[in-house]
Amino acid sequence: LPAGAENKNPAAVEVLVDIVRAEPSMAGANLAREVTTSETYTVEPEGEPLATVVAVDLGIKARTPSRLAQRGARVIVVPQSVTFAQIEALNPDGVFFSNGPGDPEASEAEVELLRQVLDAGYPFFGICFGNQLLGRALGYGTYKLEYGHRGVNQPVLDRATGKVEITAHNHGFAVDAPTTEASLAPFNNGQYGKVEVSHIGLNDGVVEGLKCLDIPAFSVQYHPEAAAGPHDADYLFDRFIKLMGAN
């Protein structure tokens, strides 16, 4: 209510509060299967494709395949239930895992699929939920933030350049990785070599990106595809295109 306004129906407010409190917790929720596409579809570039990307839809935003197609990629968007054999059959140059709702700790099938992608050497890019799944695939845990990050003016430090990006966020979970200057270290299973925390949220020090140094994989927690938000992080799509070209 506006300051000084009188609540003329407190009973209605209590009903709304009860509805909110009755909602199940996000912790332990596997929701990607509920929001994924029911059918595979393709977003084509204007000219001859420079690369083919298989994008696993965990709640994907339409702007993401559009951003990749603008850079010459043919983007094949597949359902959350896709198998690794089905991904291989599409002969991709790279694999993308999208944003989406739910608790990454409850997404073992998606984590296992991502490990198969990494084991096969496909260049990988993940956004938001995709970042959390990469963290888990590499041996890190994830945790629920007390309030989450929401909005379009979140400052994030790119540790490689020292540049501060203004970014769009919408996440309630984060990767549990060290964010000190000494955070470059082998993963606990040693399988995928070394990784660094590439981006850090300046408001609270939350991990905002991961970059593998020995395999072609990286991810960010925020949304570089944000249509109505800041576009400081557009370069990440260019990075993925270059990563596929290098491999």
pLDDT in tens, 108-129: 999 999 999 999 999 999 999 9
Catalytic residue among 105, 110, 128, 165: 128
Q: State residue 2 phi and psi, 5-degree precision.
A: -60, 155
Cβ neighbour number for residue 31 with a 10 Å cutoff:
18
What are the percentages of helix, strand and coil residues in the chain, rounded to 5? 25, 30, 45
pLDDT tens track for 69-97: 999 999 999 999 999 999 999 999 999 99
Catalytic residue among 149, 171, 199, 223: 223
Over 70: is that where the pLDDT of 8 sits?
A: no
**CA 105, CA 29: separation in Å to the nearest integer?**
9
**CA 96, CA 179: separation in Å to the nearest integer?**
24
Average pLDDT, the chain: 90
Question: What confidence score (pLDDT) does residue 18 get?
Answer: 87
| DSSP codes of every residue in 113-177 | HHHHHHHTT--EEEETHHHHHHHHHTT-EEEEEEEEEEEEEEEEEETTT-PEEEEEEEEEEEEE-
**CA 31, CA 192: separation in Å to the nearest integer?**
28
Is residue 165 annotated as part of the catalytic site, yes or no? no
Domains of the chain: 26-246 (3.40.50.880)
Is residue 128 annotated as part of the catalytic site, yes or no? yes
Q: Residue 26: pLDDT band by 50, 70, 90 thresholds?
A: confident
Is residue 212 annotated as part of the catalytic site, yes or no? no
| Helix (H) or strand (E) run with residue 195 in it | strand 194-201
Q: State residue 169 phi and psi, 5-degree precision.
A: -125, 150
Q: Which segment, 10-14, 37-41, 102-106, 159-163, is predicted with the most confidence on average?
A: 37-41
Q: Is 220 helix (H, G, I), strand (E, B) or coil?
A: strand
pLDDT tens track for 148-187: 999 888 999 999 899 999 999 999 999 998 876 655 454 5
Identify residue 91 by its one-letter amino acid code: N
**CA 125, CA 92: separation in Å to the nearest integer?**
13
